[in-house]
Chain A
Amino acid sequence: AQTVTQSQPEMSVQEAETVTLSCTYDTSESDYYLFWYKQPPSRQMILVIRQEAYKQQNATENRFSVNFQKAAKSFSLKISDSQLGDAAMYFCACLPQGGSEKLVFGKGTKLTVNP
């Protein structure tokens, strides 16, 4: 069984500053993907960034980057130059490979961006 833990229920950041959201996971699978999803008040889950476990290089998408520590089973999200539109719930998720789209989500972190 897989588990995903987000230890920060809420975080806040000043506009233009940098914030890091934490995530740890546990899986017995050797091949898996990790994701960060954003859910604004509109409820639509939007993919922010993804990381293939077999890749050592950390994924980046514009202002978003991850720190993937496979041995420690840690997958944190760094948001640089935070913008008001970044305010949302952020969910970390794990997807084991093997032919089934069964995402396991963390409980989420509510990010507030202060002007």
Chain B
Amino acid sequence: KAGVTQTPRYLIKTRGQQVTLSCSPISGHRSVSWYQQTPGQGLQFLFEYFSETQRNKGNFPGRFSGRQFSNSRSEMNVSTLELGDSALYLCASSSQTVSLSTEAFFGQGTRLTVV
């Protein structure tokens, strides 16, 4: 069974640009969550999608958005990039049902550098 796949692995963008990151969950998993990891703030929850609906959102500005497709693949978008957006972005999928949470399986992340 293939794991969680994130693309691309590395990205370098210029301040003010926008970027789209992709996450393909484990087959059969309907929940996809996104996290931002930085040395200063650690791992912070961005948002979670379940069956194409955003169920929860972390404390990030509106420049951060996401969506989930019918095949459970998810994308996150960051517009008007700032230097502080440089981070490792991790995606996690889980096989939870509507009310039962289970363990999350993580991808290898996308390393975003904003210059």
**Chain A contacts to B: CB under 8 angstroms:** 33, 35, 37, 42-47, 50, 91, 95-108
Contact = CB atoms under 8 A, between A and B. Distances in A.
Interface of B: 31, 33, 35, 42-43, 45, 48, 50, 55-56, 58, 88, 90, 92, 94, 96, 98-101, 103-109, 111
Contacts of B94: 101
Contact of A102 (B56, B100, B108): B56
Which secondary structure characterizes the binding site on chain A? loop
Contact of B101 (A45, A99, A104, A108): A99
9 contacts: A43-B108, A44-B108, A97-B101, A98-B99, A100-B50, A102-B48, A103-B35, A103-B92, A107-B42
A97 B98 CA distance: 11
